[in-house]
Amino acid sequence: MILSRVSAVKTAIAFAALVAGLAGLFCLGLASGSVAIPLREAIGSICGRAAADPVWDHILWQIRLPRCLTAVLAGAALALSGLEMQTLFRNPLAGPYSMGISSGATLGVALAVLAGALAGPGLPTALGLPGMTALGSLGAQAGVAGSAVIGAALVMLLVLAVSRRVRSNSTLLILGLMFGQMTGALVSVLQAFSSSEQIRAFTFWTFGSYAGVTWAQLPVLAAAVLAGVAMAAVCAKPLNALLLGWTYARSLGVPIQGLRVLLLASTSLLAGAVTAFCGPVAFLGLAVPHLCRGLFRTADHRILIPACLLLGASLSLASDLVSRLPGADRALPLNAVTALIGAPVVIWVLLRRPAPRDD
């Protein structure tokens, strides 16, 4: 199916530009930071050549490379889950953050860590980035990620169930928001059992950050994201049919129940795992799919899925770069940067469409 208005050549050029942009941003991400490292040295060190200054090697390998890889994985995952949710709910304002999926993941993490913390360190310390490393083993990492995914899936299930009864898009959005508030409240209740220092750590975690993910955690995050992407790839064709709505999709032979389950699993894995390791990152999931649709002038998911992965990763890297502006001692909250990018996109979407479908 050619679902694109733009020729195949233009699509290829746009993809090439996205790949180049991603590579460039990745290198910039390695080179810049509170300690500036020459671009050539940075790339050389990653390629295995020892840098002129051994401190640079340490910074690159222990801090910046995992951080950049995390940014790539998280951005790609959030953008893809946003795309899936927007088509699944036929709602342009759907996204992991706006519909409370990230909050569900947060609750999952909080509960898991609380269960672990009965014996070990307090909840938010474990939630907060140093605490994660304290948990240590790969099994514990997977456990935290797993409970985040389950928390995300539960909220997703709830929203899905409601969406079958409630036709109005704005009602669904508000419900998603309420689910988010509810899980947020539960997390606050859990916080009541923690010290003020731990609460501070948790608050920083909710700002979102790619800084705390270690080499031990990266494989878990990568595995979850890869699995989510694989599921989404299988769904590309039925997602296209879903653009016509559930009834037409069924009449076209789409196995509805199977598709629902796959999309549920995929979005929960993607949004849940990212939230567990990076905190609830706002707006990337909501905004990137719209930017891709505009860039490629298409609704074809076979183009939009790779496009969202690339652009999501790029914007995520760019946001992280801005959040630690070179020369600045303190990092800005990641969510502040993503909101600055994302909110205008949402406003643009709202103004372009007269109103979300309301019937």
Partner 1 sequence: MNPGNSKDTLASAPRLRAEGLAVGYRSVRSASGRTQDRRVVSGLDLELRAGELVCLLGPNGAGKSTLLRTLAGLQTPLAGRILMDGMDFAGLPPEARARKSAIVLTERMDAGNLTVHALAALGRHPHTGWMGRLRESDRAAVRRGLEAAGAWELRERLFDELSDGEKQRVMLARALAQEPALLLLDEPTAFLDLPRRVETMRSLRMLARDQDRAVLLSTHDLDLAMRAADRLWLLAPGGGMRCGLPEDLALSGAIGEVFDQGDVAFDPTSGQFRIHGHPEKLVALSGDPLLAMWTARMLEREGYGMAQADGAGAAFAIVAESRGGSSYWHCRDTVSAEPGSPHPVSGAAGPGPETFASLEALAAHMRL
3-class DSSP state for residue 47?
A: coil
DSSP line for 326-345? TT-SSPPPHHHHHHHHHHHH
Is 72 or 83 the residue whose CB approaches partner 1 more closely?
Answer: 83
Sign of CA dihedral 144, 147, 151, 156: positive
What residues contact residue 30 under an 8 Å CB cut-off, 6+ apart?
Answer: 37, 42, 43, 46, 60, 64, 65, 68
- Under rule CB under 8 A, residue 186 binds partner 1: no
Contacts (CB under 8 A) with partner 1, residues 302-321: 302
Is 277 or 296 the residue whose CB approaches partner 1 more closely?
Answer: 296
Is 237 or 260 the residue whose CB approaches partner 1 more closely?
Answer: 237
- The 100-139 contact track toward partner 1, x by CB under 8 A, reads ----------------------------------------
CB atoms within 10 A of CB 32: 18
- Under rule CB under 8 A, residue 160 binds partner 1: no
Query: For partner 1, which residue of 170, 237, 295, 322 counts as binding (CB under 8 A)?
Result: 237
User: Do 27 and 40 form a contact (C-beta atoms < 8 A)?
Assistant: no
Residue 301, both tokens = 């998911």
Is 254 or 282 the residue whose CB approaches partner 1 more closely?
Answer: 254
Instruction: Kindly state the number of chain residues that form the binding site for partner 1, as judged by CB under 8 A.
Output: 28
What is the rounded CA–CA span in Å between residue 48 and residue 36? 19
Is 63 or 166 the residue whose CB approaches partner 1 more closely?
Answer: 166
DSSP tally for the chain: helices H, then strands E: 17, 0
What is the rounded CA–CA span in Å between residue 292 and residue 215? 31
Start-end of H helices in 214-333: 218-234, 236-242, 246-251, 256-278, 284-296, 301-323
Q: How far is the CB of 198 from partner 1 (least distance, A)?
A: 45
Q: How far is the CB of 256 from partner 1 (least distance, A)?
A: 8
**Beta-bridge partner residues of 4:** 298
Contacts (CB under 8 A) with partner 1, residues 242-261: 243-245, 247-248, 250-255
Tell me the CB-side half-sphere exposure of residue 357, using CA atoms within 13 A.
9
Is 166 or 244 the residue whose CB approaches partner 1 more closely?
Answer: 244
Is 213 or 291 the residue whose CB approaches partner 1 more closely?
Answer: 291
Q: How far is the CB of 297 from partner 1 (least distance, A)?
A: 7
Query: For partner 1, which residue of 1, 47, 118, 192 counts as binding (CB under 8 A)?
Result: 1
Query: Which parts of this chain interact with partner 1 (CB under 8 A)?
Result: 1-5, 234, 236-237, 240-241, 243-245, 247-248, 250-255, 293, 297-300, 302, 357
